[in-house]
A and B are shown apart, each in its own frame.
Chain A
Amino acid sequence: MRSDFWRNNIVLLTALFILAPVGLIVWQSFLTDAFFSARARPTADAYSFVLSDPGFRDALKNTIILSVGMVVIAVPLGSLLAFLMVRTDMPGRKWIEPAIFLPLFMSPMVLAFGYIVSIGPSGFWSVWWQQTIGVPFWNVYSMPMLVLVVALTHVPHVYIYVATALRTVPSDLEEAARVAGGSPLTVALRVTLPLVWPSIAVSAVLVAFLGFELFGLPYVLGDQDGRLVLATYLYKFNTLLGRPAYQLMAVVVIFIMLATLPLVMLQRRMLRSAQRYSTIGGKATRAHLVPFGPWKWVALAGVLVWLYAVVLLPLSGVALRSLVTTWGPLVSIRDVLTFDNYHKLAELPLIRRSIVNTLLLAFIGGFASLCVYVLIGLASHRSQARGTRALDFLVLLPRAMPGIVAGLVVFWIFLFVPVLKPWVSSLVAMWVAYTLVWLPFGLRLVSNSLGQVGRELEEAAHVTGAGQARVARDVILPLAKHGLLAAWLLAFLLYAREYSTGIFLMGQGNEVMGTMLVSLWNGGNIDVASSLAVVNTLVIAGGIALALRLGVRLDA
C-alpha cells in the first residue's frame, strides 16, 4: 500500500537518525582510544574499568535518588498545577502562565548559581534569615536540597504535557459528575485524572529519564563536595586520564541507555489502554471551569510559593549579582552597587549576535524540528506495525546521551561521513543535533496530541474518500494544533537555553546565548555572565508573554 510505503520510509529514516549515533557510541565503547585514532584497539577493558570504579556506583546511586525524587515530586505537582491553570477559576492564571515557563529556559548552571547567591551559605536570603530568625536549617549543597531543587524546576516539564492534554478534554463529563453531586475533588480525581492519565504517564517517564541525564544543577551544586551523578561522572573522563577517554564516556552512556528499557516497559504498562482516551470528539464543547470557592485562594498561594522557590529565589540571586561587584555578608550592598556589568555587556559585540542567533535557532529551528516530529508522529500514528512500535523505545535513546556527548557524536558523524562533511560546524549541524537531543520530548508531545484526536473523525474522513495525507492535513493537524503549538513552545524554550550540545558544532558567528553564558561563567567573568543571564531571561520572557498574548495561545 502506498501509505505504508511512506510510513515505513519515515520509520526507517528515524531509526537511522537515532541508531547511527548510538551505534557509534557502542563501537567506541569497545576501543582503547578514540575511534579515529591509529592507536585504537578492540577491547572490553573500558567496561571493567567503569564497573569496578566505586565512583560509578556512587554516581549511579545519586542518579537513581534524583530521578525517583523528581518523579515523586514533580509529576503530582506538575499535574496539579496544570489542573489549577486549565480547569479551575483560580485567580491570576493569565499572568502566572508565562512565569511557569521561566525555569525552563534558564540555563541550569545559572539557575544553580542563582540559588547559591540567594540561599547559599553567604546568600543574601540566608543572611537575612540569620539576622531575623536564626541559623538557616538548610544547606544548599546537600543531597535533599539538590533533589528538591531538581524536582521543583522540572514541574514545568510535566505541566506542559498535562496542560496540553487537559485543554482537549471536554468539560461535559466533569459537568455531568458535578451535577450528579460530586465535589470538585471527587470530580478531579475520578473524572479528569483518568482522562489525562496517558499524558501524566508519559511525562513521568520522561522526567525520570531526564533525571538520568541531569547535568547542570548537580554540576554546580554538587561540585564542591564532589557529589557526582552519571552525567557529571561521565564528564570526569574528559580529564581524568589526561587525554579525553571517549571509551569510558561511551560506557557510561550505554548504562544510561540501558536505563531506558525498564522505563519504556513501565510506560507501556501504564498506557496499555491509552487508546480509549481520545478526547477530541466530533461534538462541539465549551470548556467550563470548576468553581473552587474559597479554596482557589489556597491554590493560588500554593502556586505562588512554588513560583517563589523556582523563579524568584534563583532569579533574584542572579539579578542581584548582576548589579554588584561582589556580595555576601561581609559587604554592604550599597558599597558594591553598580551598573558596570550591563555596560560591559554592551561593549561585547558578540552579545548582540548571540541574542539574534539564539532567537533564530530557537524560533525557526524549533519550528523545523516540530515539522520533523510531526512527520514521525504521523508515520507512527495509529500504527500497530512492529517497526513503529519499536520507535517507542528508540526515540528515548538520544536523550541517554548528555548534551555534550550527543553534540560530540553528531559532530563526528558530520566529520567522518563524506556527504555531510561540508556541513560540519554550520547551523545546520547544530540544528540536527538539537533535533536529535530533544526528539523524545518533542515527539512525545506531538504524538500525544495526535492520539487525542477522535478515531471516528479520521474514519469519517476516510469513508468520504480522503487519503492519508488529506486526513492528516484537514483533520488531525487542525484538531491537534494546541499540542503542536505547545511542542513548538517547548522546543523554543529548550533550544534557547541549550549550551552543551553545540560546543563541537560551533563555527565563527554562530554563538548562542547559552554557550556565551556558560563560557563567561566558567572563565570567571561572573559579572557579565549574570547580566547576560538577566538579559536572556528578559528577552525570552518577553518573547513568551508576547507569543501568549498574540495568539500562540495554548488554549486558543
Chain B
Amino acid sequence: MTILKKPAIGRAFWAVIAMAMPVAGLAQIPEGYPAEYADILAVAEAEGSVVIYANTEHAAVEAILADFQKAFPKIRADYIEIKAADLFSRVSSEAAADALKADVVWSSAMDLQYQMVEDGVAAEYASPEKGAIPEWASYGDRIYGTTYEPVVMVYNSKVVADDQMPRTHAGLASWLTENRDTMKGKVATYDPERSGLGFFAVNEDAKHSDDLWPLVTAFGAVDTKFYTATGTMLEKISAGEHAIGYNIVGPYAYLRAERDPNVKVVVPQDFTVVLSRLAIVTEQARHPNAARVFLDYLLSHRGQSVIGNAAHLFAIRPDVEGKATIAGLTAEHGDRLKPVAIGPHLLDAIQPMERLAFFRKWADALKAGK
C-alpha cells in the first residue's frame, strides 16, 4: 500500500486547525505531563498515524500496539517489521533519499541504532518520561532504551541435570572441558560473524571478563554449533538435539521456558549482560508529534506494564512490577546485571577493524580447544 505523501502545506494546515480547536475536549493528557503536552497530543491526533520500523516480532508487539490503540484511538500505529541489519539498510537508504517513511525506529541492534543518531537520522526530543527510566538508558535526548533484556544461558533439563548445569562463565568453561565427550555437538550459540546481535553480546562479555576466552576454547573442544537465529537454537535445545544454549536473549528464552518445562534459563551468577531495544524519533518524521506520543507511550508506566507483563520484553522502568521487569530481575540478581549503557561508545562495536581483530581472537581461541 502506498502511504500517500501529504504535502507540507497540508500538514501545516492540519496542525493549525488542531491547535486552534479547543484542547480540552480533544485530548486527555497523561498524568504528570506538562500542560503543553496537550498541543503535541492534539497535533498528533490530527496527524492521525505513526509509522514504526522495528525488529520486534509481530506476535510480541501485538499486545503493545493494541494497548496503544486503546490509549490513543485517534492515532493509528503502522508497524513494519524488518530484521535488524535490513532495518538499518532501509532506514539509511530512505533517509539518504530524503524519503524516510518511519516516524519511529525501534530496534534491538543497539550499535546500529546509535549509528543512526550519529548519522543525523534521530531527532532531538526530551520525553517527559525520561526521568522515569534509568539514567544510562537514554542519551542526548535522541535515543531511548525501552526494555531490559538479560542475555542468558539455556539448557534442556532432560539432557543436563539441574544440579549439574554450571551457573557462571568460568564454571561452564571447565564443565564443558570435563564433559567434552558427552557434550560433543551439544552446545549452541550465535555465530558472531554472521549475527550482528551475537557479536554485540559476546563482545560485551569480553569487555566484562576475561573468562570469555577459556569458554570459547571450551566451545572449540565440544564442537559447538554456531547459529544465526535464536529461533532455531531454542527449537533444537527444546528437542534435545542440543543441550545448552549460550548467550540467548532473555525474552525468547523465558517465553520458550514457559511453554516447554524441559527448557530452563540460567541468569549467569558472575555477570549478566543486559541489552535494550532502543527507540528514536526520526528527524524526517512526517508525523513527528504522533511519533513523540508513541515514544512516550513506550516509556510510560502503562506502556511499560504491557512491555513487561504482556509482551514479556522486560520493562526498563523501575516502578513497574512483575517478573519480566527490571525490578523483578534486580530483586533476584542485583548488581550482577550489567546493562549496556547508551552512548557514543556503542559505535566501537561496528568498527570493521575492531571486529576483524575480535574474530581473529575468537578463531584462535576456538582452535586452541580442538
Chain A residues close to B by CB (< 8 Å):
34, 36-37, 113, 116-117, 120-122, 219-220, 223-226, 235-236, 238-244, 246, 325-331, 344, 347-348, 350, 404, 408, 411-412, 415-416, 421-428, 503-504, 506-510, 516, 519-529
Contact = CB atoms under 8 A, between A and B. Distances in A.
Interface stretch (B6-14, B137-145, B187-195, B315-323): B187-195
B129 interface: no
A524 B252 contact: yes
Contact of A330 (B57, B159, B230, B352): B159
Given A238-B85, A421-B99, A507-B2, A243 B193 contact: no
A310 B39 CA distance: 60
B74 interface: no
Interface of B: 1-3, 5, 51, 57-60, 62, 78-83, 85-86, 88-90, 92-94, 96-97, 99, 101, 111-112, 115, 156, 158-159, 188, 191, 193-196, 199, 225-232, 234-236, 238-241, 252, 255-256, 259-260, 262-263, 349-352, 355-356
6 contacts: A36-B97, A113-B232, A242-B352, A330-B262, A427-B1, A527-B259
Contact of B232 (A223, A236, A325, A424): A223
A411 to B, nearest CB: 7
B5 A422 contact: yes
Nearest to A239: B196
A520 B231 CA distance: 9
Contacts of A113: 232
Contact of B94 (A327, A415, A426, A524): A415
B66 to A, nearest CB: 9
B59 A348 contact: yes
Contact of A328 (B191, B240, B256): B240
Nearest to A416: B97
Contact of A523 (B89, B94, B188, B231): B231
B225 A224 contact: yes
Contacts, number: 187
Nearest to B4: A422
Nearest to A246: B89
Given A238-B85, A411-B90, A520-B58, 17 more contacts: A36-B93, A37-B92, A122-B241, A241-B352, A244-B89, A326-B262, A350-B58, A412-B93, A415-B93, A507-B2, A507-B3, A508-B51, A519-B58, A519-B83, A523-B58, A524-B57, A527-B259
Given A122-B236, A424-B99, A503 B227 contact: no
A508 B80 contact: yes
A415 B99 contact: yes
Given A239-B85, A523-B231, A507 B101 contact: yes
B1 A224 contact: no
Given A239-B194, A240-B355, A524-B231, A122 B93 contact: no
A160 B86 CA distance: 34
Contacts of A121: 241
Nearest to B258: A325
B86 to A, nearest CB: 5
B202 to A, nearest CB: 13
B335 to A, nearest CB: 29
A328 B62 contact: no
A47 to B, nearest CB: 17
A426 B5 CA distance: 12
A246 to B, nearest CB: 8
Nearest to A117: B239
A464 B230 CA distance: 68
B241 A328 contact: yes
A329 B234 CA distance: 16
A202 to B, nearest CB: 33
A454 to B, nearest CB: 46
A422 B86 contact: no
A421 B260 CA distance: 48
B337 to A, nearest CB: 22
